[in-house]
A = this chain, B = another copy of it.
Amino acid sequence: MITSSDEPDSLDDAHEIAGLLFAVAEQTRHVFEAAARRVELTPPQARALLELHRPASMRTIAQRLRCDASNVTGIADRLQARGLIRRDEGQQDRRVKTLTLTPAGERARADLETAVRSSPAMAGLSHAERATLRDLLAKVASPGATP
């Protein structure tokens, strides 16, 4: 086993936490895939739907999905074909198209959100443990907030 010079177990902690983080992320990914499958959507389609809690341009969705803008054309096509979103022409800038959830899209999005939120991940945690985990995850989720 390698012992680092200054902080021997701090690095080991980081490594172990990284491993656990990946395990939990994998688990979370499966929860999301199952939730998407339940509403008959692929994961990217489901992610787009979740991002559309407010109408947004295709460019914006591409940025939130962290993919090239050209991909959003196909994803939006399929969501539109399913009647879950509308494509509206922008009136100020006629290049942009605004994606908006239809009523059916709202319902699908609500189903998705419910399924996602009911992850059984923290079933074995006490109330106090949940609060602690929440605060720590918040720190991990926003690494810039280091006072």
Contacts and interface: CB of A to CB of B under 8 A. Distances in A.
Contact of A134 (B17, B116, B122, B145): B17
Interface band, chain A = 35 or more
A20 interface: yes
Given A24-B21, A29-B29, A123-B146, A14 B140 contact: no
A13 to B, nearest CB: 4
B127 A7 contact: yes
Interface of A: 1-2, 7, 10, 13-25, 27-30, 32, 66, 116-125, 127, 129-134, 136-141, 143, 145-146
Given A17-B134, A129-B139, 11 more contacts: A10-B127, A14-B117, A17-B137, A18-B121, A23-B141, A25-B25, A27-B140, A30-B66, A121-B140, A124-B139, A129-B136
